Chain A
């Protein structure tokens, strides 16, 4: 009896400390604080990511779980010309659109960085294409690219440059250039405004010093602005490349992959095969095939970030 009471007395404070430790210990506390975010990210991001890779090794269809079939989906894709066409389209789309987004975005950022009247309003206006949901602006482009009533064809005809309407979305290469143009249009503001933020951190004294040393405009850009801007360019372009590579919305609204799969990207093809065609396994295999490309982009971003820290003389914190 006495032993039991003694034990109780001994135990009571120890239990309290355990509870208190849960409240103040930084590792436990950290875990409580991380819990909501971790729950979302594990349930709806990490788990599906793994599940996607698993599904790509099964013959799952909509409405029934599949059996393991090994690499069959990938072997099937290896011989599928439409798949390889979609890889080609995706690479073309990403490379051309990103290159133009970079060039035009950097140019626009340099223009906006000069002394301008109404600078702030201009900056705000430039960003509008990025604010408006892609699908909704894509619908405007759909109308601009209409085969019969396109205002672009009309203007060119009035100017005497062409005699018949341009079939923007019906012809293989026209369709490709049209969707690439719409993508550039949508992406330039993001690149321009983020690069502008980078430009504004470049000290004007550097430009003054370079001018005194007799550098011309191009030399100033090449040897002062550009080196200081490379880290942020690396990050911005990684984001841009990632989002262009996995683009779906724009294509889906404008062409749905047509004509004859000329604008079929890997994302749209996987949607078509998995959701519309019902072959979840094959669609998942196409999605999984995108991962190596994304990893490559992420690695580039990683090295870009490292370089930035080195350039700014920071510690690796």
Chain B
């Protein structure tokens, strides 16, 4: 992962915003501090925080490859390392469960919901920022409010809506409900990007006789590709992370998404379940971590952009 990150992150000043020369506030006065002082005030706390943040992942990965007898015998074996890694848990995951199917379900739902939301948000954001129709500002504010409506107060009425529309226990139940979480966020993010595109470009195109649709497709979208990537990745992550809708709207084992399936299908009385449980959790996180490693700048700008707007 580090190798993949290194070229992208070579220039820390560019990582977050790539704008101002003042982005790196630190170079200025840090020469005033001597190394021992920095060790105590900076490196030591940073190391402790990093260890706490990363230890669960190390533990997850280690558990996934440890043989069962070592997992439960903490006295005889060193619990922090194993010399005899096994692929048994992962094998069990892939061949004795529906795990590949669940992974596929999650991927399908996430991709469909994300694509739908991005299309809807591009149109909405463009209309709010550039068409400036009557009441556009109010709509913009309403969309921000929609972002603040959490799924946990919506799932009960939504479950009866989903039932009424005959979507219960189908992937469509999720594909159509996830955009309610994604559209407000990505509209808000894309509004910020569209604002940065010079108005003059559009005026030129209008004079040349382009329709609004042509302007959007040929001028605005190509210029806002970084914003689109940010929105796409963040939406994809949100879909993957969503739990309560998937838990409520799906019932049969084959239709479940990874988070729900792991919680409901793996948790049985078996004392040896930990290995495959951790393997499942690890395999479910991996696609996101890989995606993140490739697009880390976009991800961070999506997160901070949405907050700063």
Contacts and interface: CB of A to CB of B under 8 A. Distances in A.
Interface of A: 23-24, 26-27, 29-31, 33-38, 40-41, 43-45, 47-49, 51-52, 55, 60, 104, 107-108, 111-116, 119-129, 131-137, 139-141, 143-144, 149, 151, 154, 185, 188-190, 193-194, 196-205, 207-208, 211, 232, 235-236, 239, 242-243, 245-249, 252-253, 267, 270-271, 274-275, 280, 283-284, 287-288, 290-291, 294, 297-298, 301
Report which residue of A43, A45, A194 has the largest number of chain B beta carbons within 10 angstroms of its beta carbon: A45
Interface of B: 2, 5-6, 9-12, 15-17, 20, 22-30, 42, 45-46, 49-50, 52-54, 56-57, 59-60, 63, 71-72, 74, 79-80, 116-117, 119-121, 123-124, 126-128, 131-134, 136, 139, 143, 145-146, 148-161, 176-177, 179-180, 183-184, 187, 211-212, 237, 240-241, 243-244, 247-248, 258-260, 262-263, 274, 277-278, 281-282, 284-285, 288-289, 292-293, 296, 299-300, 303-304, 307-308
A194 B158 contact: no
Nearest to B274: A143
Contacts of A198: 308
Nearest to B117: A40
Contact of A51 (B117, B132, B160, B292): B160
Contacts of A290: 152-153
Contacts of B80: 151
A123 B15 contact: yes
Contact of B304 (A40, A52, A194): A194
B161 A48 contact: yes
B17 A151 contact: no
Contacts of A194: 303-304, 307
Q: Which DSSP category, helix, strand, loop or mixed, fits chain B's interface?
A: helix
Contacts of B28: 204, 207-208
Contacts of B150: 242-243, 245-246, 294
Nearest to B238: A133
A203 B22 CA distance: 6
A143 B63 contact: yes
Contacts, number: 320
20 contacts: A30-B131, A31-B133, A34-B124, A36-B124, A41-B146, A122-B50, A123-B16, A124-B292, A128-B289, A140-B59, A143-B277, A197-B307, A198-B308, A200-B23, A201-B20, A246-B153, A248-B244, A270-B156, A271-B155, A298-B148
Contacts of B60: 140, 143
Contacts of A31: 133
A45 B184 CA distance: 11
A108 to B, nearest CB: 6
